[in-house]
Structure 1
Amino acid sequence: MASRNFATGILLSVLPLVFSNISVAGSPSDYSEACECKTSENGTRTIPVLIRDFKTSHPDFETMDGVDYGIVKEDLGDDGRPVYAHEDRSKTTTGKANFDQWYRDVPDVNMAISKSLTIREIASGFWEYSNHSFFPIDREGFGNQRNYHNFHFTLETHLKFYYVPGGQFTFRGDDDLFLFINGKLAMDIGGVHGMIEKTLDLDQVAERLGIEPYHTYSFDLFFAERHTSESHFQFQTTLELECL
């Protein structure tokens, strides 16, 4: 049924899209992807993402597993990227120097590839992207490296949304997911793990995030796929995501 979602209990509603003065955190200075969100008449919206392919030999990929909350600090860095929160290492990461490569271009360590995701309006004002076999760069970058899919990559996108009371965002997937709203960490699903589902209710965390209804705020999402043998990437939201 169109009115149900994988996080039961979310109330679907029609959300007006009326923009006020924009108050958004700056996007990364080297995020060169031209952000053009394309909305079609048949209820789809295409958003740009930047994916970085990694070799299986990277020490943060393939070798560890487990849920690992608190990998990143609460605030985005001045360059618009997550800031590593540990002096040494975490359960599934090997230190700041290696983590800083996840979302930055580093020759011979990663390869940046521009892609897009198409989200669908499955009910009025309710958007979904769902992929239980999320391998967007198979045979690209460094290639599949003797695997049947390319399992080692990160993804980022930098958007904005107009905050209407009742706004929600649900993510379900593996592995790491760091979502920042207004430059503040709003959702943390760190680590190398099976599918985990979390729902963000903006009304409940608005004060912590420093947001108020009827204003526009930044939406910065960072994802990592670090281990064979599955890759799930799903979200459902009432937020009208737009480009910066």
Structure 2
Amino acid sequence: MHPQHNTLRVKSLTAAVVLFAAGSVAVLSVNPSSASASPIAEDNNSIGTGVELPDTITLDAVIRDFRPNDWEGGHPDFQRFSGTTTVGLVADELDADGKPVSSGNLRGMKITSEYRDSQGRNINPAMYNQQLGDTQGSLSAGPSSNGFDSESSFRQWYRDVPGVNVSKTIALTFNRTPGTNKYVFDSATDTEHGTGGFFPINNDLYGNYTSDKNFHFTTEVNTQFVFTRGIGQVFKFTGDDDVWVFIDGKLVVDLGGLHSVKEQFLDLDRLDWLQDGKTYTLDIFHAERRTSASNFRVETTLELRSVELPPTAALYD
């Protein structure tokens, strides 16, 4: 699915570890010269290139539907666990197939107070950098229940598995805020998939749950973008449940676990391994695993474009 990962991944990630009383979390190498002061929207329709930006960007997403655990033949990770915002459930890098893998810690670590940048925006704890004026939050031992049943059950989330899931491709339309280079997809306002939340497969695939909505699915969005340092390229995800975002195959947004609406913000100038003018992958892996709400919002100044997706699977059973 991701031949780009073999050619674009830059092996310059600095290994660093911050220790906490309840465990540890890997810290990404960040650029100390970045003040993380970039606003989410720049009043510039061309981002300094002289090329007019499109009003919309359409990205392909693969939705994989699962039977809930309380249905016959249901998946053990859907409509089973409860929890809170949890980091450390997945490894820091995608595997050779371009997929997230379990870190081996099935409970991860809870975010008990948010890590924030100098403007007070929530960030991935692994991005924390005191030199940038960040505010240190805190982590504690993971929830009493696992984040998912097993490493093998998690492996099925973003792969087509006969008898376990079914899939289809949908289009997500990002709208540019007039007078800015900010693009937004918001399930709260989207007319195609936003039916009281993010429910792109209501009355489809395995069908709705007892709530008359289809709550048990994963979302995979594979994109590319050109990095330009110093122009305010930023990315923010807001939603539930699990969300992991990888740039160049490296974890940059970590919102694992079953939780209410949460968000993390990323200023790409923090990522010191990104080279100016180069093309990189940005991959979003999302899961909606439990009633009673589903939300999906992306806000970015990146001009993302889809990469080729594999064919999706029809019903197997």
TM-score (structure 2 length as normaliser): 0.63
> What is the match of residue 47 of structure 1?
59
Give the secondary-structure state (helix, strand or coil) at the position aligned to 2:177: strand
- Among 87, 92, 95, which residue is 2:150 paired with? 95
Contiguous gaps of at least 5 residues in structure 1: 1-7, 19-39
> What is the match of residue 98 of structure 2?
80
Alpha-carbon separation, structure 1, partners of 2:174 and 2:292: 25
> What is the match of residue 63 of structure 1?
80
Cα 1:229/1:212, change in 2 over 3 Å:
same
> What is the match of residue 149 of structure 1?
213
Q: Does the Cα contact within 8 Å between 1:87 and 1:95 map onto a contact in 2?
A: no
> What is the match of residue 243 of structure 1?
306
Point out 4+ residue stretches in structure 1 off by more than 4 angstroms. 87-90
What is the deviation of 1:89? 5.9
> What is the match of residue 166 of structure 2?
111
> What is the match of residue 224 of structure 2?
160
Alpha-carbon separation, structure 2, partners of 1:47 and 1:11: 20
Deviations 1:31-66 (A, max 9, x none): xxxxxxxxx96x122111100000012111111122
- Within a 5 Å distance, the mapping from 1:216-231 to structure 2 comes to 216-231=279-294
Deviations 1:109-147 (A, max 9, x none): 110111110110013211000113100000111101333
**Partner amino acid, structure 2, of 1:122:** T
Q: Which has the larger radius of gyration?
A: 2
TM-score (structure 1 length as normaliser): 0.81
What is the deviation of 1:214? 2.0
Percent identity among equivalent residues? 39
- Among 34, 39, 42, which residue is 1:12 paired with? 42
Give the secondary-structure state (helix, strand or coil) at the position aligned to 1:203: helix
> What is the match of residue 278 of structure 2?
215
Deviations 1:210-244 (A, max 9, x none): 21222211111111000101001001100010123
> What is the match of residue 120 of structure 1?
175
Q: Looking at secondary structure, tell me which structure has more strand per residue.
A: 1
Q: Does the Cα contact within 8 Å between 2:89 and 2:106 map onto a contact in 1?
A: no
Q: CA RMSD, aligned part only?
A: 2.0
Count of aligned residue pairs for this structure pair: 212
Alpha-carbon separation, structure 1, partners of 2:94 and 2:48: 29
Deviations 1:151-210 (A, max 9, x none): 000010111011122210011100111111011111111010000011011112x12xx2
